[in-house]
Structure 1
Amino acid sequence: MAAMFRPDVVVIGASAGGVAALQIVLGALPATLPVPVLVVLHLPRDRSSRIAEVLAPYCTLALREAEDKQPLQAGTVTFAPPDYHLLVEDTQAIALSMDEPVLFSRPAIDPLFESAAAAFGTGVLAILLTGASSDGSDGVAAVRAAGGQAWLQCPEEAEASMMPASALQHAGADAVLPLELMCRRLKELFA
């Protein structure tokens, strides 16, 4: 089944331990990636994020921080800025939101995953990585309910197992993978 699935968008969520996990996952994406990638990493609200700069050496794709109403761009990794939820507005653009924090986080993973599921339906690949909250569980449920796929980092391998374990218990998954195997699967998916 995985071989026939071709996503139109990849959405990734991570929290505690996420920078190291993102180095590995983003590093596996080919320079010719034909879809946009949107990332929420739980960030402190009160200071600027340098996550795109930090991860740039590991990734062949363009990395940028999201701006409101920015067009979705294939081959580009877009990060939620501090203190804003990152949303998929429609299949063409993203939006930033100052809505209430979700599970004490803004940006939060659930709004990204849920809005991607609403916009892209069966075309979403959601990847939930390490983290110490249950953010992402409702989003994974929404993606799977819309016919998209959700891949979770193997909780035993994650630096903080709670987030992938919570999503697995709450919503199930299309794959539960150690990062090395997840990277191999991503390369095959876009080969």
Structure 2
Amino acid sequence: MTTNGPFGPLEFQLVLLRRMADHQPELVDDARHELGASPADMREANRRWQAMVRSPRSRSAVARYRSVLGAPESVTRRRIGDLECDALLWPVVLWPALRFEVMTAPGGAVWNGWLVRAPGEAGPEPRTAEDLRPWSCTVDEVARAFPPVQPLPGTAPTRTGLRFTLPGGGVGVAEFTWGLLQRRTE
């Protein structure tokens, strides 16, 4: 892999993996090998992404995603309360059943960017805490499976948490990076 070429979908997936490596280094190593990338490639992709995000001449967040990932596979109008927003979806090679979703506010500001289940793809139906294995579920899937849930602040950018109710009334915590389950605690 070369680090001198344009920053595209492959490099973006390395950025996703870079943050996930904190919790799941073995899964990240396997995925990185699948992409044909070295640890240095992953670090360089992350460095370039951070430079784009922090540049004083930076384009808007949605323009940045479009320039890196190309035209979205789909754009869907959604209503959240009184607001209408757009959900832009892009495929990701590493997770063919998932899409990278960017939610934009009216006017184009990006509210959120994370992995979600692709439309029409059957997702997992976890029933127990043991079903919550790393990289098996998205935030929405855990929230639907174990209500009620309480969102928790993330420990770093791109991280989120959910406190959820286990069958029988116990409580668990799921931690996500870029919307994909990394680990759970009880």
Q: What's the TM-score, normalizing by structure 1?
A: 0.28
Larger Rg: 2
Structure with higher RCO (Cα < 8 A, 6+ apart): 1
Q: Which structure shows the bigger proportion of residues in strand conformation?
A: 2
